[in-house]
């Protein structure tokens, strides 16, 4: 049975790095909002309509993978409840498990990460602050991971354990 792993968090938290490693570890299809935004020609466009287009494109890609019975790792801030709801509705539609994962990091580390140019993300520390202020509270159970610059293997292992324990409950 397929799963949708919804990896969310603030810019600079390490969510994309983690999400790509996770997708590789579990042989899932990775879909990131930053890469999609770039492919769609929407870099620099962060208005509500553009965000909705990117999130809908993520959902469409995830749906194709689910129909092919593949696991999907979705990587985005998911700071608004309505974007998380799109993923939950997709899971309900196809009766697949949605696994919410919140990646966090200390603000000092986030500042260091955001001070360096990144291939697909335009977010800087000001964007981080704006999204942090607007981040709507999560509801229901979710896995929280704290990212440092040295613990990728540890948080991957924690996630794999979490996935195994969830699988046993289904």
Per-residue pLDDT tens digits of the chain, which is 170 residues long? 789 999 999 999 999 999 999 999 999 999 999 999 999 988 876 777 888 999 999 999 999 999 999 999 999 999 999 999 999 999 999 999 999 999 999 999 999 999 998 877 888 899 899 999 999 999 999 999 999 999 999 999 999 999 999 876 54
Q: Are 74 and 15 in contact (CB under 8 A)?
A: no
Among candidate residues 132, 102, 128, 130, the one with its CA nearest the CA of residue 115:
128
State the pLDDT at residue 99.
97
- Domains for the chain: give ranges and CATH numbers: 3-169 (3.40.50.300)
- What is d(CA 48, CA 36) in angstroms, rounded to the nearest whole number? 16
Is-above-0.85 flag for pTM? yes
State the pLDDT at residue 47.
76
- Tokens 């696994």 correspond to 99
């Amino acid at each position: 049975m397929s799963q949708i792993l919804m990896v969310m968090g603030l810019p600079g938290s390490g969510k994309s790095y983690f999400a790509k490693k996770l997708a590789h570890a579990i042989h899932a299809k990775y879909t990131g909002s930053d890469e999609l935004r770039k492919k769609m020609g929407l870099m620099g466009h962060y208005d509500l309509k553009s965000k909705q287009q990117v999130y809908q494109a993520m959902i469409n890609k995830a749906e194709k993978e689910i129909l092919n019975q593949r696991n999907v790792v979705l990587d985005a801030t998911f700071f608004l409840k309505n974007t998380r709801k799109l993923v939950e509705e997709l899971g309900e539609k196809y009766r697949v498990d949605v696994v919410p994962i919140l990646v966090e990091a200390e603000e000092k580390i986030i500042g260091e990460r955001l001070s360096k140019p990144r291939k697909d993300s335009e977010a800087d520390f000001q964007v981080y602050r704006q999204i942090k202020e607007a981040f709507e509270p999560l509801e229901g159970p979710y896995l929280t991971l704290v990212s440092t610059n040295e613990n990728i293997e540890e948080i991957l292992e924690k996630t794999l354990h979490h996935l195994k324990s969830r699988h046993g409950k289904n």
